[in-house]
Amino acid sequence: MYPITLRSVLLLGTALSVAAPALANQTDPETLFSEATQAEASAAGQGNDIIVTARRRSESAQDIPLAVTVIDAKQLDETGAFNVNRLQQLAPTLQFYSSNPRNTAVNIRGLGVPFGLTSDGFEQGVGIYIDDVYYARVASATFDFLDVAQIEVLRGPQGTLYGKNTTAGAINITTRQPTFDFEGRAEVSLGNFDFRQARMSLSGPLSETLAARIAVSDTTRSGTITNVTTGQHIQSLDNIGVRGQLLWEPSDNLRVTLVGDYNKQNAVCCGSVFVRAVATQRPLERQFAALAAAQNYAPPSTNLFDRLSDLDASLNAGNVIGGVALRVNWDAGPGTFTSITAWRTWDWKPENDRDFTGLPIVTLSQNPSQQDQYTQEFRYAYAGDRFDFVVGAFAFDQRIDTQGLEGQGAAASRWTINPSNPLSNDPTVLDGLTARNTQFLESTSLALFGQASWKVTDAFTIQPGVRLNYDEKRGFYRRRVFTGDGTELFGTETDARSRAQLGVFQPQESAPEDTDWNLTYDLTLSYELAPDVLAYGTYARSFKTIGINQNGLPTDTNGVPIQEAGSILPEKVDHFEIGLKTQFWNRRATLNLAAFRTQIEDFQATVTNGQFGVLRGFLANAEKVRSQGIEADFAVRPSERFNAYVSGAYTDAKYIRFVDAPCPVELRGGTTAAPGQTPSPPGTPGGISPANCDISGQRLPGVSEWAFSFGAEGNLPVRFLDKPGQIYLGYDGSYRSDFFSDASPSEATRIGGYHLSNFRLGFRSEDGLNLFAWVRNAFDENYFEQLFVGPGQTGLIAGLPGDPRTWGATASITL
């Protein structure tokens, strides 16, 4: 019922928007950046006003009572921040983790999505918007930015202003728009690891009322890890993107923009390297060292940063994302009416090696997915002398279909079956054992939202906001199990061979569904203490809606699926923030401070229990978590010859109460403790393992307590290639302290802190030519982006190392 209704709403919205007559002639406060505005924004943090649309109207970043990081096109291009992964080095409160495009997490202040393998059944807490269109699939964050004018990273709940409810923040990306003057941009970069990147955009008029813009980006790079089994270099880049826009402007008060984009990835990805083996509670002969020795297996290297892997299963990260959007801006009387109608599609074709070794244990791990997403947003924005407001309505409809294959190989019997069972020595028992998974998710979201701003006096402003949200989720999951000869197992078989096979994969079927209403609201008070000094305070009550488990349910000690784990409660968020925004030294210097405390009840966590049948993990509620901290952003431009910046964040993010969490790896694999029985110490072979663990008071995964970004650029006037311009030297650095890479903190999955340094040296002419050489991770810092706990409780830890030193050169021209 809902999908039909929503698609009707989308069509009706388009018709109403295009047919709306022009009633007034007023500058559209949401009109995306003109070239003059972009020129101002390019001086980010260097004494000029930075114009943002964070509150759905154009205003100075220093005038809004909101913690926001603004990064302009020049900074993105020259620092090599061509995707969100690179962006986190410029925004210390942003965390990005990706073991492959689907399994990508974007968090702000440690919150947003559960850390770990991604499930379709939960919402993103950090919204990604490109020209006002919500991108539900976080896989889009792994693609290259296309023709970007500016990026705003908004911290804290944003649901009363943005289409989808966002409980942790939003990444608001603005692209360059079609122009009625011809302009062109071209850029080519070459570097080590066969890095090649070409980007181009062209814009101009087709008639007096019609303009067009097209942008293309192509990035390739050889992988940074050598697979000794296949000879391939894995973790490569192979991205291509195209974005086309048509702007119809029949009058001064009506702008209609049609946008289409297509993005494709076809990398040799994604892999891992052996990191270590830790002691678990499994019997000694069933832990990694003994199992590997019994099969004469050794990792290709125990030097963590030799960057050698021996994965024997096929690897692929085929990924296509695209869509069409229609945006209408109509200056209707004293305000502006906006309609955004969008359809997006996502096609994911992965192949993985989920045993993290060169042994044929898990030989198939493929979960291709297809998504269709429809959104419709209506919004009206009014700006007056004393009173501003934005009101809107939002509809979201999503369907995701997934067809999964999980298969076992010839080495699985010895690795998985207890050695006391004679079948452990028979490689045919599990060889070819396959789980075929079929699942779908239908998700519907409807919302009304609004935010007002009342300027009580010239200095004091009250800003309330509210959002009413309805969500409906309906899922289906079915796992069928087949032996190597194609015989289907139904779970009722009693012979020893079948029981051993069912110990790996159990047939399952579930169809969770749920609905939820919630009311989000916030209140911000701001006061201008002096010219260019703004103080503000915010309270927000927000919600992340219900989640459902889409990837196989955990089982009890008897192997029976736990049906009540099919859905999880919504998150309930209480957010407090105070801040100070200042400019001084004739606006040459900017200092912004923010202190925040966010508390979440029924936090949605991703947990793994090491079972082969639920390798993706499953969702569960932690009773309460809290993230609190202090942030500072400082930028200075004493002259046009020098500028510098430093941003820092201290984040204290921890579980306040999570008493029934899965245990860390060193407490898994033993006999489950009976009521009143004392578990064995961690890492006791053949010991007694707790059924679950109390990790209250421990740190949230993926969050560093300290994170910094800093940099500077100096220039001198020169004449080069018979062109007047500047020679410049720039530096950008980042640091983050240690963090945990599993939902349950463990020393086995602690990633040490690291510091990255990037340099650039170049020439920038007055007529748009820019030539520069660059080196990233200049000191070749060895670090891990993620660590993974291997399946089967063997104690295997694998990891994804970060990029080594890379270097190259870039040439660009703007006409």
Token pair listed for 314: 């096929």
Question: Does the pLDDT of residue 6 top 70, yes or no?
Answer: no
Question: Does the pLDDT of residue 30 top 60, yes or no?
Answer: no
pLDDT digits over 581-629, tens only? 999 999 999 999 999 999 999 998 876 554 444 434 567 788 999 999 9
Taking residues 377-388, report their average pLDDT: 94
DSSP 413-462: HHHHS-TTSGGGG-TTTTTT-EEEEEEEEEEEEEEEEEEEEEESSSSEEE
Res 564: pLDDT? 74
Res 748: pLDDT? 96
Res 25: pLDDT? 31
Mean pLDDT of all residues belonging to the chain: 89
To the nearest 10°, report the CA torsion of 300, 304, 305, 309: 30
Q: What percentage of the chain carries pLDDT values higher than 90?
A: 71
Question: What value, to the nearest 5°, has the Cα angle with vertex 174 and ends 171 and 177?
Answer: 165
Question: Does the pLDDT of residue 40 top 50, yes or no?
Answer: no
Question: Does the pLDDT of residue 504 top 70, yes or no?
Answer: yes
Res 80: pLDDT? 85
Taking residues 42-62, report their average pLDDT: 64
Pick from 453, 513, 428: nearest CA to 477: 513
Q: Which domains does the chain have, with CATH numbers?
A: 2-814 (2.40.170.20)
How many Å apart are CA 306 and CA 686, to the nearest integer? 33
Question: Does the pLDDT of residue 10 top 80, yes or no?
Answer: no
Taking residues 563-580, report their average pLDDT: 90
Res 54: pLDDT? 67
Token pair listed for 265: 């990835």
State which H helix or E strand residue 689 sits in.
strand 688-689
Centre a 10 Å sphere on the Cβ of residue 378 and count the other Cβ atoms it contains: 21
Question: Does the pLDDT of residue 334 top 60, yes or no?
Answer: yes
Q: What is the CA radius of gyration of the chain?
A: 27
Taking residues 730-747, report their average pLDDT: 94
Lowest mean per-residue pLDDT among 333-342, 505-514, 770-779: 505-514
Res 82: pLDDT? 81
How many Å apart are CA 709 and CA 542, to the nearest integer? 29
Q: What percentage of the chain carries pLDDT values higher than 70?
A: 91
Res 32: pLDDT? 38
How many Å apart are CA 291 and CA 416, to the nearest integer? 9
Question: Does the pLDDT of residue 17 top 70, yes or no?
Answer: no
Res 56: pLDDT? 66
CA neighbours within 13 Å on the CB side: how many for 660? Answer: 6
Question: What is the pLDDT confidence band of residue 563, given thresholds at 50, 70 and 90?
Answer: confident
Question: What is the pLDDT confidence band of residue 511, given thresholds at 50, 70 and 90?
Answer: confident
Question: Does the pLDDT of residue 430 top 60, yes or no?
Answer: yes
Q: Which residue has the higher pLDDT, 8 or 485?
A: 485
Question: Does the pLDDT of residue 665 top 80, yes or no?
Answer: yes
Question: Does the pLDDT of residue 117 top 70, yes or no?
Answer: no
How many Å apart are CA 52 and CA 58, to the nearest integer? 6
pLDDT digits over 708-732, tens only? 999 999 999 999 999 999 999 999 9
Res 13: pLDDT? 43
How many Å apart are CA 258 and CA 177, to the nearest integer? 11
Question: What is the pLDDT confidence band of residue 46, given thresholds at 50, 70 and 90?
Answer: very low
Res 87: pLDDT? 87
Token pair listed for 455: 């300027």
Res 15: pLDDT? 38
pLDDT digits over 259-301, tens only? 999 999 999 888 999 999 999 999 999 999 999 999 999 999 9
Taking residues 113-138, report their average pLDDT: 84
CB of 186 within 8 A of CB of 765? Answer: no
Question: Does the pLDDT of residue 560 top 80, yes or no?
Answer: no
Q: Long-range contact list for 352-356, CB < 8 A, 24+ apart?
A: 352/100, 352/270, 352/313, 352/315, 353/271, 353/311, 353/312, 353/313, 353/314, 353/315, 354/313, 354/406, 354/615, 354/791, 355/415, 355/790, 355/791, 356/272, 356/274, 356/311, 356/788, 356/790, 356/796, 356/798
CA neighbours within 13 Å on the CB side: how many for 261? Answer: 30
Res 52: pLDDT? 76
State which H helix or E strand residue 2 sits in.
helix 2-19
Res 613: pLDDT? 42
CA neighbours within 13 Å on the CB side: how many for 790? Answer: 30
SS3 for 88-122, per residue? CCCCCCEEEEECCCCCEEEEECCECCCCCCCCCCC
Question: What is the pLDDT confidence band of residue 14, given thresholds at 50, 70 and 90?
Answer: very low
